[in-house]
Amino acid sequence: MTKKVDRVRNWRQYNEALVKRGSITFWFSEDTIRNWHVNDSINTKGRPRKYSDVAITCGLTLKAVFKLTFRAVEGFIGSLMDGMKIKAEVPTYSLLCKRQKGLKVNFRGQHIKTNEGIHVLVDTTGLKIFGEGEWKVRQHGYVKRRLWRKLHLAINARSQEIEAFELTESNFQDGDGLLPLINGVDKDIDKVTGDGAYDQYKGYKLSEERDFELIAPPKRDAKLTKECTGYSTLQKHTPEMLQALRRRDCFIERIRQIGRPAWKKEIGYHQRSLVETAMFRMKYLLGNRLKTRLMKNQRTEVAIRCLVLNKMTSLGLG
């Protein structure tokens, strides 16, 4: 059977749509301009703040989207203000860099509140801080040390928006990132799906304590609890831990019955590809390298990227 090919017939409209992809329209909402400067007069130590967190977040967002330096961001915002005849001062590049540390960024979207729990997809990727490119290393080997950070993401399977993230050192295990991700989600969780790195006893124990279902494919040489050498010791665990082990045993038995590919299809494991898609979009649109050096600044930088990606996702899927 030949594959059906969708042919484009409205070439004029299609060509105009491709051209319009390059057009850029900027606007500042009235709330942003109204809250650009700090209006309160709270007496605190040190020099009083002139710009609000909204202004700093706006500058860092433009920096992430257009991949600008701090100095270029200052000039870019100034040109926008002049072109739109907005009477507001522009924060300097040094102030943007200083305020980035410890800035609280609310990157979560405005979801409709329901009584049902959400399905969370988790995965881990790497973000480079400095070092050589992959092609150079593959062709000629290493010359200088490379440094990475691990980014742990949790996205909503329904809205495909990022619900929580965690940034850790490169030696941090993928499965250990499940706890901070679950703590970062501010909604009721019904199900969590991850790859084989999350097939850990502490992950299943956490699922029993927090009352959600953990779906992680067991290792190919996984054994049932009663087949383990320390089965008598495992029986002394808490009821939550024993229930977690029984749930994992059900996965192993089902895989032995119908096979791993059929089990993944039956249990809906392939939805996990959505979190990999989110990571691809983040790296493709915003880059796979962190620009800052301090961990606190890097967390803010990742939070800004999550804010941008969630906004793009809501506009594209809304």
Joined together, the tokens standing for residue 120 give 């969370």
Higher pLDDT pick, 277 / 135: 277
Does residue 54 carry a pLDDT above 70? Answer: yes
Amino acid symbol at 272: R
Looking at residue 18, its pLDDT comes to 75
Q: What is the SS3 assignment for 273?
A: helix
Does residue 111 carry a pLDDT above 60? Answer: no
Q: How far is CA 215 from the centre of its chain?
A: 19
**Model pTM score:** 0.84
pLDDT in tens, 32-52: 888 898 865 555 666 778 899
Residue 209 neighbours by CB under 8 Å, 6+ apart: 240
Q: What is the mean pLDDT of residues 245-255?
A: 88
Q: What is the mean pLDDT of residues 157-165?
A: 92
Average pLDDT of the residues of the chain: 85
Tell me where in the chain the CATH 3.30.420 domain(s) lie: 118-278
Query: Which stretches does DSSP call E strand in 3-72?
Result: none
Higher pLDDT pick, 245 / 153: 153
Alpha-carbon distances, residue 102 vs 15, 105, 106, 128, 237 (angstroms): 45, 9, 13, 21, 41
Q: How far is CA 134 from the centre of its chain?
A: 23
Q: How confident is the model at residue 28 (pLDDT cuts 50, 70, 90)?
A: confident
Looking at residue 1, its pLDDT comes to 46
Q: What is the mean pLDDT of residues 7-19?
A: 76
Q: How confident is the model at residue 144 (pLDDT cuts 50, 70, 90)?
A: low
pLDDT in tens, 189-240: 999 999 999 998 889 889 988 889 999 999 888 888 777 755 555 666 667 6
Q: What is the mean pLDDT of residues 286-305?
A: 92
Q: Which of 24-28, 150-154, 207-211, 273-277 is least confident? A: 24-28
Using left for φ > 0, alpha for ψ between -120 and 50, and beta otherwise, residue 259 falls in: left
pLDDT in tens, 59-97: 999 999 999 999 999 999 999 999 888 888 999 999 999
Rounded CA-CA distance 100/98 in Å is: 5
Looking at residue 42, its pLDDT comes to 58
Joined together, the tokens standing for residue 159 give 């809205």
Fold topology of 118-278: Nucleotidyltransferase; domain 5 (3.30.420)
Share of the chain above pLDDT 90, in %: 49
Q: How confident is the model at residue 170 (pLDDT cuts 50, 70, 90)?
A: confident
Q: How confident is the model at residue 117 (pLDDT cuts 50, 70, 90)?
A: confident
